[in-house]
Every structure is written in C-alpha cells, then in structure tokens.
Amino acid sequence: MARIESKLARMGLQLPPPLSAPGGVALPFPWVNLRDGRAFVSGHGPQEPDGSLAGPFGKVGAEVSEAEAHLLARKTALSMLGSLRRELGDLDRIVAWNRVFGMVNAAPGFDRMPGVINGFSELIIALWGAEAGRHARSAVGMASLPFGIAVEIEAEVTLG
C-alpha cells in the first residue's frame, strides 16, 4: 500500500473530493500542473469533507480566530493532497517539497501568520518527514482572498 496514504489512514485523515466551487465563476486552470518532473500547485483553500469550501470565513484576527485559522491551514493541506493524489495517482511520487506560499486573510493588526500556516507545514512534515517534507516558506497577510476564505496556500513539489 502507498506509504503516504497509509500514514494518512493511520492518522484517521481523509482527503476531500474535488472542490465544489461557489457558483458564478469559471476557474479555467488546473489545481495541479505537471511540468518537467515538478508539480506546480495552484492556490488551494480549506475544504469540508463534502468538497465545499470550509469556514469560518472572513479575516483572521476578526471573524476567524488564530486557532480556527490553524485548523483551516491543516484543511488546506488536505485539500491540496486531494488534488495531488487525483493528478499523480499516488502521493508517494512526491519526493520533495520545494516551496510553500502561505496566504492569510488578515484583519488590521493581525500579524501572527506563521502560527496559522504551521497548520499546513506540520502536517506535511508529519507525512513526508524532515528531509522530503522540508519546504521554503513565506506566511503573509493578504487584503482579500477568493470567496472570503481565511487561508490560501500555493506550492511546488518535485516528483520522483
């Protein structure tokens, strides 16, 4: 059985189905773009188990607490892993994480983005380990994110 998916199962985690995007807007791009042995991963938001976008929605530091946002970053990791599994067939094909760009929908005065995006980084490292899971990272505050999601993350990985 696949190594990463075995770990997910032992942790009791399930990957969500494809995003049920809010109506009214086309999304003319793939969630994962395979090029030259790498996967460029589009900005993902947190998903509920039914595939819809996960809330709470709004600005971290106002409508969304830091602890809630940390959980949303973890759900964003699961959303991204769902997209990667559908595209790659097997998450074990990811041999190295290169770069993670973590974006937080930040209320005025909120500057604890690193603690929020740790919800993503901690899960990746738990699954891939310290060497393959190692990723360069920024964790910054945005003026706005699509559909009012509180966290969005894009990434790049190397395939084996």
Residue 101 in contact with a copy of itself, rule: CB under 8 A: yes
Q: Return the residue of 1, 10, 26, 160 that touches a copy of itself, per CB under 8 A.
A: 26
Q: Judged by CB, which is closer to a copy of itself: 9, or 34?
A: 34
**Amino acid making up residue 114:** P
Residue 106 · residue 59 · CB < 8 Å: yes
Q: Return the residue of 73, 78, 91, 110 that touches a copy of itself, per CB under 8 A.
A: 110
Residue 7 in contact with a copy of itself, rule: CB under 8 A: no
Determine the Cα–Cα distance for residues 115 and 97; give it in Å rounded to an integer. 20
Residue 90 in contact with a copy of itself, rule: CB under 8 A: no
Query: Rg of the Cα trace of the chain?
Result: 15
Q: Judged by CB, which is closer to a copy of itself: 9, or 136?
A: 136
Peptide bond just before 56 cis, omega within 30 deg: yes
Residue 52 in contact with a copy of itself, rule: CB under 8 A: no
Q: Is 147 helix (H, G, I), strand (E, B) or coil?
A: helix
Determine the Cα–Cα distance for residues 123 and 155; give it in Å rounded to an integer. 14
Q: How far is CA 78 from the centre of its chain?
A: 6
Determine the Cα–Cα distance for residues 109 and 4; give it in Å rounded to an integer. 38
Q: Return the residue of 30, 49, 89, 129 that touches a copy of itself, per CB under 8 A.
A: 30
Q: Judged by CB, which is closer to a copy of itself: 70, or 75?
A: 70
Token pair for 146: 């699509």
Which range of residues in 7-15, 25-33, 47-55, 67-75 is near a copy of itself by CB under 8 A? 25-33
Contacts with a copy of itself, residue ranges (CB under 8 A): 25-33, 35-36, 40-43, 96-101, 103-104, 106, 108-115, 118, 121-122, 125, 134-148, 152, 154, 156, 158
